[in-house]
């Protein structure tokens, strides 16, 4: 695939969502000469980084007609990546002047939101965004164009400290829909808002409360409670420690440890690691595979999220099956609809912002015709080969978009397609050093103590060209 000889074409493009993916997609599309409209359901940019103490009335989010709270952030959240690695490549996440900025290397969530707002301001993205406008339908027309239907949604943004488990949601008001036609749609609606719940035999009769981490904000409602936390992902690790500060007992259930596992976490007198839950019972007890029986008050599901596109009508060309969104060429384009429908931000276990940036550059340059895609058949063959590799390696379907170490090769592939510089080596090394520090050397303090000072220096040498 090489740059196409024909002159670049300008397209009318709709972007769904103004989070980290939608913002950089809008910037790259406009840079490439396209006319861009960004639809954002909320009333500010930043997506998941727009923290609110409010939670939905149904803490497990099982009601499909519930009012939506998009963010899954908790109050104490600090980034799990160092800011040097986390930021977009050409807009470094350095400490910027201003009051109440958080200069820490692993800052609190508000600093990330302020950074995204700085980004939107620097590149004039806010003027492209239609706030409080929810996309309710994206559908393909016979002439190959896209119909985008949206409706205004006015959120009452009062911060009503209602962050306990029984909080009330302030309802949104809605008006009629708008239909518009676009050449292309770039979907950037995020995938950390639609919870996945663990299946627990007997839980329907179990009398305690259940909550998904999506609706976790602060530890106080868990004071003196016995809490079971299911999962060992980044959020689970933070949340179980947060809650252990006030709860009577916290029991973490992990599916990735041996059945006999039962250990007390070093440094805590009320935090245990168990194997997975076997069953829950009417008498309030929860039984683990290790045989332990714990009378518990609350089960917290830190069990991840599902890809969810309630607005998307692709006539069956794109489906979600066991959390595989597909078929997608390079996790971005459904071959049958390429390049007119694309998805930014689908991979996980990645460094998100720079990957979104490279994906967006590629999409923008393909839409303009400056770079060409392979034929639909070649793209389908590539996807089939990828699925076969996953299968041969025993990787479950639900991990289709999980990248880990393969993200570097992926980023470099994208960079080559777009004719831009390869992913800087210090980023890979720093990400690796942070992972080691977090997993092995300093699980409790990795955000405040590290040894990769040489890489921090290297990063700042690199940033000089972007900071005037």
Question: Residues interacting with ligand FAD, by CB under 6 A?
Answer: 16-22, 39-42, 47-49, 70, 72-73, 79-81, 86, 134-135, 188-190, 192, 235, 311, 345, 352-353
Q: Which is nearer to ligand FAD, 447 or 458 (CB)?
A: 447
What long-range pairs does 90-99 form, CB within 8 A, spacing at least 24?
Answer: 90/357, 90/466, 91/118, 91/119, 91/122, 91/123, 91/466, 92/459, 92/463, 92/466, 92/467, 93/353, 94/460, 94/463, 94/467
Shortest Cβ 164–ligand FAD spacing (Å):
19
- The nearer residue to ligand FAD, 156 or 378, going by C-beta atoms, is 156
In eight-state DSSP terms, residue 53 is S
Kind plus residue range of the DSSP H or E element containing 114: helix 109-122
Rounded to whole angstroms, the Cα distance separating 289 from 299 reads 16
* Nearest-approach distance from CB 82 to ligand FAD, in angstroms: 10
Is 2 or 65 the residue whose CB approaches ligand FAD more closely?
65
* Between 190 and 326, CB nearer to ligand FAD: 190
**Residue 259 C-beta: closest distance to ligand FAD, Å:** 29
Q: Are 407 and 427 in contact (CB under 8 A)?
A: no
Map residue 389 onto helix, strand or coil: helix
- Quick one: 3 or 108, whose CB is closer to ligand FAD? 108
Q: What is the nearest approach in angstroms of ligand FAD to the Cβ of residue 24?
A: 9
Cα separation of 288 and 17, whole Å?
A: 41
If the CB atoms of residues 46 and 208 are measured against ligand FAD, the closer one turns out to be 46
The least CB distance from residue 105 to ligand FAD, in Å, is 12
- Residue closer to ligand FAD by CB (options 17, 327) is 17
Q: Which is nearer to ligand FAD, 120 or 135 (CB)?
A: 135
Q: How far apart are CA 55 and CA 163, in angstroms?
A: 6
List 39's β-bridge partners, or say none: 16, 130
Q: Which is nearer to ligand FAD, 74 or 206 (CB)?
A: 74
Nearer to ligand FAD, 235 or 365 (CB): 235
DSSP 180-211: EEESEEEE---SSSSB-----TTTTT--SEEE
Burial of 285 (0-12, 13-18, 19+ CB in 10 A): middle
73 vs 296, beta carbon nearer ligand FAD: 73
Distance from chain centroid for Cα 217 = 17
Q: Let me know: does 275 contact 253? Beta carbons within 8 Å.
A: yes
Min CB(258)–ligand FAD separation in Å: 28
Q: What is the 3-state secondary structure (H, E, C) of 295-321?
A: ECCEEEECCCECCCCCCEECCCCCEEE
| Dihedral over Cα of 324, 325, 328, 330: its sign | negative
In 3D space, the residue among 126, 141, 46 whose CA is nearest the CA of residue 341 turns out to be 141
Q: In what order do the strands lie in the sheet with 293-295?
A: 277-280, 285-288, 293-295
| Smallest gap from residue 200 Cβ to ligand FAD (A) | 23
Least separation in angstroms between CB 68 and ligand FAD: 8
Let me know how long the chain is: 468
The least CB distance from residue 49 to ligand FAD, in Å, is 6
Nearest distance in Å: CB 21, ligand FAD: 3
**Shortest reach from residue 451's CB to ligand FAD, in Å:** 20
C-beta separation of 36 from 29 below 8 A:
yes
In the bound state with ligand FAD, the residue whose beta carbon lies nearer, of 327 and 354, is: 354
Query: Parallel, antiparallel, or unpaired: how do β-strands 129-130 and 35-39 relate?
Result: parallel
Min dist. Cβ of residue 150 to ligand FAD (A): 7
């Amino acid at each position: 695939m090489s740059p196409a000889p024909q002159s670049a074409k300008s397209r009318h493009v709709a972007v769904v969502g103004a989070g980290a993916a939608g913002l950089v997609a809008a910037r790259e599309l406009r840079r490439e000469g396209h006319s861009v409209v960004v639809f954002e359901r909320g009333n500010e940019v930043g997506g998941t980084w727009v923290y609110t103490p409010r939670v939905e009335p149904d803490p497990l989010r099982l009601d499909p007609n519930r009012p939506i709270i998009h963010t899954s952030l908790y109050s104490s959240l600090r980034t799990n990546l160092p800011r040097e690695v986390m930021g977009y490549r050409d807009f470094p996440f350095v400490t910027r002047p201003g009051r109440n900025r958080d200069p820490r290397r692993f800052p609190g969530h508000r600093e990330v939101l302020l950074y995204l707002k700085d980004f939107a301001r620097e590149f004039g993205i806010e003027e492209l965004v239609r706030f409080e406008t929810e996309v309710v339908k994206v559908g393909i027309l016979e002439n190959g164009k896209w119909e985008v239907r949206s409706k205004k949604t006015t959120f009452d943004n009062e911060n009503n400290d209602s962050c306990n488990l029984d909080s009330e949601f302030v309802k949104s008001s809605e008006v009629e829909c708008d239909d518009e036609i676009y050449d292309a749609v770039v979907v950037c609606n995020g995938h950390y808002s639609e919870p996945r719940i663990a299946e627990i035999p007997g839980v329907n009769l179990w009398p305690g409360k259940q909550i998904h981490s999506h609706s976790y904000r602060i530890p106080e409602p868990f004071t003196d409670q016995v809490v079971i936390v299911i999962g060992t992902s980044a959020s689970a690790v933070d949340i179980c420690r947060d809650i252990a500060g006030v709860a009577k007992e916290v029991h973490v259930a992990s599916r990735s440890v041996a059945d006999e596992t039962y250990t007390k976490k070093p440094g805590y007198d009320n935090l245990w690691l168990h194997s997975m839950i076997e069953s829950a019972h009417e008498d309030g007890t929860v039984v683990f595979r290790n045989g332990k029986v714990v009378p518990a008050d609350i089960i917290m599901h830190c069990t991840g999220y599902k890809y969810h596109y309630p607005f998307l009508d692709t006539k069956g060309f794109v489906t979600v099956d066991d959390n595989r969104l597909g078929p997608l060429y390079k996790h971005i384009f459904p071959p049958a609809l390429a390049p007119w429908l694309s998805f930014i931000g689908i991979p996980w276990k990645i460094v998100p912002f720079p990957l979104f940036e490279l994906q967006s550059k590629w999409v923008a340059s393909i839409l303009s015709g400056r770079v060409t895609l392979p034929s639909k058949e070649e793209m389908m063959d590539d996807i089939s080969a990828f699925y076969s590799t996953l299968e041969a390696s025993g990787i479950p379907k639900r991990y289709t978009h999980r990248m880990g170490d393969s993200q570097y090769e992926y980023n470099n592939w994208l960079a080559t397609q777009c004719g831009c510089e390869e992913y800087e080596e210090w980023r890979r090394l720093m990400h690796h050093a942070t992972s080691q520090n977090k997993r092995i050397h300093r699980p409790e303090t990795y955000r405040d103590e590290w040894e990769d000072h040489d890489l921090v220096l290297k990063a700042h040498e690199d940033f000089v060209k972007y900071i005037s």
